[in-house]
Amino acid sequence: HMDGFGDLSFVANDIKIAFVDTTSIDGEGLFRAKELKLDKFYYAVTNKTEKIEELKKEYGITDEETGMLGSDLSDIPAMKKMGFPVAVADALPEVKEVACYITNAPGGRGAMREICEFVLRAMGKWDAWVDKVTKMGYK
């Protein structure tokens, strides 16, 4: 799963990931979050902005140090407080307007993987990560 590789790549490179969603979770979703070794995962969140602000305080990070993938109207308030707001390819036009980057891949079909590569390249970690994965795997 391409997005799963992105999640695991972030985790393996010491980049914290939190999954914050307004939908409810089922057993498969919980299993997937644990399988991907996500640092935090929250479902049925009524206010994403508040939850993300809590996480920023917990980790002691600033707006500029955070990023978010968004697709729907409920993502806009939180995206406006991010240093790196990203809209997935199939996001609503209003979401794309607040994004500083729009993925080529749609949500759930490679967008997270795409952002992982973008971020690791920007941090100068991509080549070392490719070398590690091709030699030893990534789990």
pLDDT tens for 61-84 read: 999 989 988 999 989 999 999 999
Dist CA 28 CA 5 (whole Å)? 17
Two structure tokens written together for 6:
């992105």
Cβ 62 vs Cβ 52: under 8 Å: no
Quick: pLDDT tens for 92-131: 999 999 999 999 988 878 888 888 889 889 989 888 887 8
- Domains defined for the chain, CATH in brackets: 2-126 (3.40.50.1000)
In the numeric block, the tokens 């640092």 are attached to: 39
The residue whose two tokens read 């695991």 is: 8
Which stretches within the chain are classed as H helix?
2-12, 27-35, 48-59, 76-79, 93-98, 111-122, 126-136
Handedness of CA 13, 57, 76, 41 (dihedral sign): positive
Q: What percent of the chain has pLDDT over 90?
A: 32
